[in-house]
Structure 1
């Protein structure tokens, strides 16, 4: 099964080897037909502590690394 890859911005880098990434998604509401924006926060593994708040990063699913970490950072994202 392929691993999911998401793109989001780092909102916290206070944990050791951990960043919190906020991923936004937009979809059309099924009843009101209005575009709705939702965001999720993911704890991601950052082994070298190289990503800082505000960085646009890509994260990928991985085996559990701790109680909350199920994702790892695979690199910087693109603006487009």
Structure 2
């Protein structure tokens, strides 16, 4: 197969792994921590158990905490970053900070 038949992809750049998860931390510059849930079956009791894995991902798109994102595997970007944010699937609902709200006291 010639390079023309392979298309525009670089040699060795096959289909990359993709995961969908929720951003749990966005306190770093251009990096986020994404939690990905998966279902596994217990080997003895055969109950379905929810397992969570966290991945450091490179973020050029500006994802915020709570956003649902798709991450794709990439070359090693740092010691712990092997993923990058491909797209933001859903934005998080903005939650008002309750520390600044004054609660009125009941009159006596």
Q: TM-score, normalised by structure 1?
A: 0.90
Match of 2:15 in 1: 2
Structure 2 residue corresponding to 1:26, chosen from 28, 34, 39: 39
Q: Which structure has the highest strand share of the two?
A: 1
**In structure 2, C-alpha distance between the alignment counterparts of 1:22 and 1:3, rounded to whole Å:** 19
Q: Which has the higher contact order (CA 8 A, sep 6+)?
A: 1
CA root-mean-square deviation: 1.2
Runs (5+) with no aligned partner, structure 2: 1-13, 91-108
- After the TM superposition, list the runs of 4 or more consecutive aligned residues in structure 1 that deviate by more than 6 angstroms: none
Q: TM-score, normalised by structure 2?
A: 0.67
Question: What do residues 5-58 of structure 1 show as CA deviations (whole Å, max 9, x unaligned)?
Answer: 00000000011100000000012112111010100000000024x100000000
Match of 1:51 in 2: 63
Once the two structures are TM-superposed, the CA of residue 77 in structure 1 deviates from its matched residue by 2.8
